[in-house]
Homo-oligomer: A and B are copies of this chain.
Amino acid sequence: MQEIHALLPRHLIQRHQYVANATSAAAMNRTKLGDFKLGMLVVFDDPMTVDNHLLSPHVARAQGFYFYDMKTTYNAWIAYTLIFNSTEHKGTINIMGADMMDEETRDISVVGGTGDFFMARGIATLSTDAFQGADYFRLKMDIKLYECY
């Protein structure tokens, strides 16, 4: 078993202005359905560091999307790829699942990998490392790969 512990700092929502459905109609829907951004879909391309210092070196990028899917609380569905391109690791890890943001930790699935992570499978345990409203949050990921070659 191979373990990777990493922090994924999600950016200010201003840096997420490229929200896929940032249209007035969708915004209307969101308002009508409550305060939890239901239906908002966000495309991201975020640096990952191994600790929570803003200036730490980036060990990977996380590229993918999430959308909020509940009317009663913040809850998201997420799918993304971790892209490693350093002397230490080259390759990708593909991840998807439901991010029940109310839970202190929640598990999603590592469904595949390439390069150094060829055919990886496993679990990514998410927890919220920092949260300032919905404008900025950092997500902590503990990744455990149970199938590697």
Known A98-B92, A110-B112: A22·B25 in contact at CB below 8 Å: yes
Q: Which residues of B contact A40 (CB under 8 A)?
A: 20
Q: Among B33, B45, B80, B113, which residue has its beta carbon within 8 angstroms of that of A75?
A: B45
Residues of B within 8 A of A146 (CB): 119
Q: Write the nearest CB–CB distance from A108 to chain B, whole angstroms.
A: 7
**Contact of A128 with B by CB under 8 A:** no
For A, the interface residue count at a CB cutoff of 8 angstroms equals 58
Instruction: Quote the shortest CB–CB distance from A37 to chain B (angstroms).
Output: 10
Number of copies: 3
Q: Give the residues in chain B near A26, CB-CB below 8 Å.
A: 20-23
Specify the main secondary structure of chain A where it touches its partner. strand
Picked from B24, B119, B121, the residue with its CB within 8 Å of the CB of A112 is B121
Please determine whether A69 and B43 come into contact, CB atoms closer than 8 angstroms.
Answer: yes
B83 engages A98 (CB within 8 Å): yes
A70 in contact (CB, < 8 A): yes
